[in-house]
Amino acid sequence: MSIVRSLLESRGLGFDPGGSSSELYVLEVLRRARLPLPVQQYRVKIGAKTFRPDFAWPEWKVFAEYYGLPFHIGASAVVADSERLTALSAAGWLPLVFTHASSDREIVERTVAALHQRGVRRELGA
């Protein structure tokens, strides 16, 4: 078996590495902080639409997006981002939005606060 095939199989069915190196960096920040890891590109169906936030903690209905250039610029991106954020929030999901200006500390603190708001304690060492 090739090394690549072995590595891919170890990721598990449905693994999606994310859409950008910035998203993978956010994931690494969460991993280093020993927070519960999110599902990447999790599909959430609301009505006739399916949304795929960058990260989701489905058990607690928390999702996170990384808004980076060039994917979140221009009128159509603003419309799509707003629609996703509004639809998921209206369905009871708690949003987190990170950008290039979000520090590692901010990513961790905002994620911990969101998960605490949803009652997550044991997984956060509380």
Domain ranges of the chain: 24-119
Residues of the chain short of pLDDT 50, as ranges, are: 1, 4-10, 13, 72
| Model pLDDT, residue 123 | 67
- Phi and psi at 49, nearest 5°, equal -105, 145
Overall fold of domain 24-119: Endonuclease; Chain A (3.40.960)
Distance (Å, rounded) from C-alpha 113 to C-alpha 117? 6
Distance (Å, rounded) from C-alpha 68 to C-alpha 99? 6
pTM reported for the whole predicted model: 0.78
Distance (Å, rounded) from C-alpha 65 to C-alpha 90? 16
| Model pLDDT, residue 93 | 97
| Model pLDDT, residue 8 | 47
